[in-house]
Amino acid sequence: MSNQSEHTTPKQTEEEKLTQESAFSHEQKDPMAEYYQLQRTLYTYTLVLIGIVFPTVWYFYSLNTALNYLIGAIVSVVYLRFLAKDVERLGQQQQKRLGGKGLGIFVILMLVASKWQQLGILPVFLGFLTFKGAIIIYTLQSVFLLSQQSDEEAASIGD
């Protein structure tokens, strides 16, 4: 029996060391590098969604509706860029307004869509929300990967 307890203790210490090393290496990561990776991921997901939704809307509705969606989607990428710039500057300086330019772009987009007869408000608005879909996909992916990692860690600790 003492042989089992001696065997278990070094294993636990080894796992604790691995946990401490991974926590230490995680702390050493550059937060801005992580932010830029998140930014690239969101841009990629947004562009992929645009690439999927645009032809689908064109197929099921019309080219005009698909182009309305595309206008809103392009503005959503510009909005995401402005938001990313604001977040990047947030830590560097005291900024009192966050997202003011982005909100202005959204308001202008909706005004143009409502006044211009060729643009439909709903497709343009839904196109603008494309970046929100990218954020939802990223969040779900993060949650499921984190859940999967914790399940794998629990299984390795149980062994």
Supply the pTM of this predicted model: 0.68
pLDDT of 32 above 70: yes
The per-residue pLDDT for 73 is 93
Residues 6 or more apart in contact with residue 141 via CB below 8 angstroms: none
Tell me the per-residue pLDDT of 112-125, one tens digit each, with 9 for 90 and over.
887 887 778 888 88
65/17 Cα distance (integer angstroms): 58
What is the residue extent of each domain of the chain?
A: 31-158
CA distance 123 to 57: 9
Q: Is residue 56 over pLDDT 90?
A: yes
Asked whether 119 and 113 are in contact (CB, 8 A), the reply is: yes
Which pLDDT score, from 0 to 100, does residue 97 have?
A: 62
**Helix and strand totals (H; E) in the chain:** 6, 0
Q: Kindly report the number of other CB atoms within 10 A of residue 1's CB atom.
A: 5
Tens of pLDDT along 66-106?
Answer: 999 999 999 999 988 888 888 777 766 665 666 677 778 88
Q: What is the mean pLDDT of the chain?
A: 77
CA-CA distance, 6 to 39, in Å (whole number)? 48
